[in-house]
Amino acid sequence: MLFNSTEFLIFFTIVFVLYWLTNKNLKVQNLLLLIASYIFYGWWDWRFLFLLFLNSLVNFILGKYIFKATDKKQKKRLLYVALIFNLGLLGFFKYFNFFIDSFISLSNGIGLKSSAFTLNIILPVGISFYTFQALSYIIDIYRGNIKPVTNPISFFTFKAFFPQLVAGPIERASNLLLQIDVPRKFDRELFNAGIFQIAIGFFRKIVIADSIAAYVDTVYGNPDFYNSNTLIIATILYAFQIYYDFSGYSDIAIGTAKMLGFRFLQNFNLPYFSKSLTEFWRKWHMSLSFWLRDYLYISLGGNRKGVIITYRNLMITMLLGGLWHGSSWNFVIWGGIHGFVLSIEKFVMSKKYKIFNNKFISYLGYISTFAIVCFAWIFFRSQTFENTRLILSKIFNYSFKAPYIGDINVFINGIFVLILGFLFDIYLRKKDIPLEELAGSWGIAKTAIFTSIILIMICLFYSDSNNFIYFQF
């Protein structure tokens, strides 16, 4: 069930009404959320529900046993069981064929003949997100940061909560589970803020991202046909497409949760206004970025074991972060590019060169950061490594030919709505206020007028044919 579909509008309306009618009984309200979340998830493929239920049940039990363990060795053994179970499921469904194909290619490359052996595995929607959510819960219990939940309905609701189930944000137990376990009252201001953020999310997705996608998909679908200038323009546009697509999804998820009385953490904070890649990752997909930092980078040793180990940990973190996005070497390379540049930045910043206090050099950081991010997006967006190689060869063998625009109406339409979206982001930056707080600062009347204008534009651009990009991860 897509957020941008009529089915979801009907589904959420029914859930919203029943949910607030039962707000005097927390157990019934949470049970309703759980049932609704399973309906939402089962709408994709009912077979996925068994895997989600199994994942929830095993992690619920393991969390209790890890907390009750009396010695460190027992705790560590149970932690390893949890890691093997969660990563094993993720690895089988998402990476089995990838690793088999890679092994076969490597064997054939060194002269060893290997026959192909792959399985027809369906990738469960959202498995990457709810696996990371489960791991954070288990690791937090192991570290003593939280206690395990005793109510299975609360935990199963936490694991399946439909606004963030399919593509995040990756909400941790320390935030979401605590809210599930306390009574919730209808909050008019939170409700209004939720509607406003949902409207912004749909605007970013339907009006901006989908309009840009029409052009980007055409160019990247046949890169051999286009010259270097066209490919550069399409890559820059893709940078904004994926930003508005995924930040739009996050806005809808966060806004939907607000209407149900929950507060999610911020997931995007104007990432393209970053002077460095380090700053970019503090603003881009923040729930994943902080997850990688807290549960992978720090677990590897962080920056506590010397300079060389720190750079190694950064590279491993970003390489695995890239692989998390998809079973392709393109994603690994994408992560490697980010890890390499982050390591360079960490080295340079550690020297505290005075030149970086220069305003001109500082402003160059915006351009260089965006250029690096766009370069890495080529690997992220390309369907195959051959396409990546073709695109890069055309860009680096730069020709001064005018770009072939193709359908000029599609191009102009995409540029126009992109300008609207970017001007709104500039407004947020100038006011130095997160989108999550904007509705409260505007007041009900101004918010209602602005929301109405956005809804009209959404209706004009509406199409139910485009999935959210991060559904494939």
Question: Could you give the residue numbers annotated as active site?
Answer: 325
From residue 170, alpha-carbon distances to 127, 254, 411 in Å are 12, 11, 34
The gap between the terminal CA atoms of the chain, to the nearest Å, is 16
Give dist(CA 281, CA 321) in Å, integer. 12
Token pair recorded at residue 450: 């602005």
Report the C-alpha dihedral over residues 302, 305, 310, 316, rounded to 10 degrees.
Answer: -70
Interhelix angle for 385-396 vs 359-381, to 10°? 140
Amino acid at position 399, single letter: S
From residue 120, alpha-carbon distances to 23, 60, 97, 123, 144 in Å are 44, 30, 9, 10, 40
Give dist(CA 245, CA 129) in Å, integer. 17
List phi, psi (to 5°) of 404: -90, 110
161 and 153 in contact (C-beta within 8 Å)?
A: no
Task: Collapse the DSSP code of 472 into the 3-class scheme (helix H, G, I; strand E, B; otherwise coil) and give the result.
Answer: helix
Task: Collapse the DSSP code of 437 into the 3-class scheme (helix H, G, I; strand E, B; otherwise coil) and give the result.
Answer: helix
